[in-house]
Amino acid sequence: MELLKEKIIQEGVVKAGQVLKVDHFLNHQIDVELLDQMGQEFYNHFKDKKITKILTIEASGIAIAVMVARYFKVPVVFAKKNKTLQVSNDVYTSSVASYTHQTTNQIIVSKSFLSEDDHVLIVDDFLAQGEATLGLISLVEQAGGTVEGIGIAIEKGYQAGGTRLREAGYDLLSLAIVLDMCEEPRQITLK
Amino acid sequence: MELLKEKIIQEGVVKAGQVLKVDHFLNHQIDVELLDQMGQEFYNHFKDKKITKILTIEASGIAIAVMVARYFKVPVVFAKKNKTLQVSNDVYTSSVASYTHQTTNQIIVSKSFLSEDDHVLIVDDFLAQGEATLGLISLVEQAGGTVEGIGIAIEKGYQAGGTRLREAGYDLLSLAIVLDMCEEPRQITLK
């Protein structure tokens, strides 16, 4: 998607450890016009699937998910990062390792909001190793629902997540794929 | 706003300690059509102000803020809950006490995204004691910007936040005001 690629090239900030910061338009300040166009792109690609829910993770995924959901006219459900040690019986749960933050989060979704009747489009801002996406897939599977597709804003093409998901047979659309980054001198190469 | 009031009456869950859970349509699952109507209501009320930014706090505020921002055609900025002890020089910061969770969070916004030229509409899902809203107001003031208004989905009318903000002279619009709640037998009284 050209507009997103331009934004990444112009405003993306490369940090040590292959971290790409897109705080200017996606992760802290949000360019709503850009997100609307992203929503339209995801809709065009997945519109023939009978999507009943858009699923994402708090916090950055929520803005994208809402703009996608407008086109599909279905609810958003966002998985929460569990902050307590207790897990009640009325939630589905899975563990998500974060390489960036060197932590493991438990994510949860209330059983009220995912069921075997659901055909789910998973949406998120980044795809790197694929841990977060696999965690969301697990939540849908626990509910007996169907993952109809995965929509990602920015895929890190040099990490394993995209390959893992495509080889597993998922319909994955990434709107921009980063092939290489360098902090100094700053360079971002997109597919 | 009638649709929001109906949703609260029909689907709101009252928990001990005057907690109102609206996970079915606002805080976990999101009814995007409802949010779009809320965005329209906020726009109708504040459209004569020269709004340049919509400001909220992660995570629940983001969905509402994005839908409001569509009408104003301005960016969203969401304050982040600071998870590290270090605070860098390039952020504005304030402390927010949560009575529900009995914690104090530090919230931060990058100095890149709020300036003295900004005319800000603050948006959030709940208003109770007003701590979160006052924290956001502080961030705008630190930047030298102007708070043009405050848009809240659900105000707890029996708590002090609404009075504090109105007496301080802020243009506050709450789309639903809860006057009283009871867990057993379940009852929610709206203004």
Question: Is B20 inside any structural domain?
Answer: no
In the 8-state DSSP scheme, what is residue B185?
T
**What ipTM goes with this model?**
0.94
Q: Which residues of A touch B (CB under 8 A)?
A: 23-24, 28-33, 35-36, 58-59, 62-63, 65-67, 69-70, 73-78, 80, 109-110, 112-113
Instruction: From chain A, pick out residues whose CB is under 8 angstroms from the CB of B112.
Output: 23-24, 29
Question: Is A73 inside any structural domain?
Answer: yes
If you count DSSP H runs as helices and E runs as strands, how many of each does chain A have, helices first? 5, 11
Question: Is B17 inside any structural domain?
Answer: no
Cis peptide before A168 (omega within 30 of 0): no
Mean pLDDT of B132-146: 98
Q: Assess whether pLDDT exceeds 70 at residue A152.
A: yes
Provide the number of CB pairs (under 8 Å) joining chain A to chain B.
93
- Domain membership of residue B122 as a residue range: 35-178
Residue from the list B23, B32, B74 with its beta carbon closest to the beta carbon of A66: B32
Query: Based on the structure, what is the number of domains in chain B?
Result: 1
pLDDT at B16: 87
pTM: 0.95
Mean pLDDT of A108-133: 97
Which chain A residue has the Cα nearest residue B55? A29
Strand, helix or coil at B115? coil
pLDDT at A91: 94
CATH number at B153 reads 3.40.50.2020
Q: How far apart are CA A101 and CA A183, in angstroms?
A: 19
Instruction: From chain B, pick out residues whose CB is under 8 angstroms from the CB of A113.
Output: 23, 28-29
Q: Assess whether pLDDT exceeds 90 at residue B101.
A: no
**Both tokens of residue B73?**
């055609």
Question: Is A145 inside any structural domain?
Answer: yes
Question: Is B27 inside any structural domain?
Answer: no
Question: Is B191 inside any structural domain?
Answer: no
Question: Is B58 inside any structural domain?
Answer: yes
Q: How far apart are CA A56 and CA A64, in angstroms?
A: 9
- pLDDT tens column, B30-71: 999 999 999 999 999 999 999 999 999 998 899 999 999 999
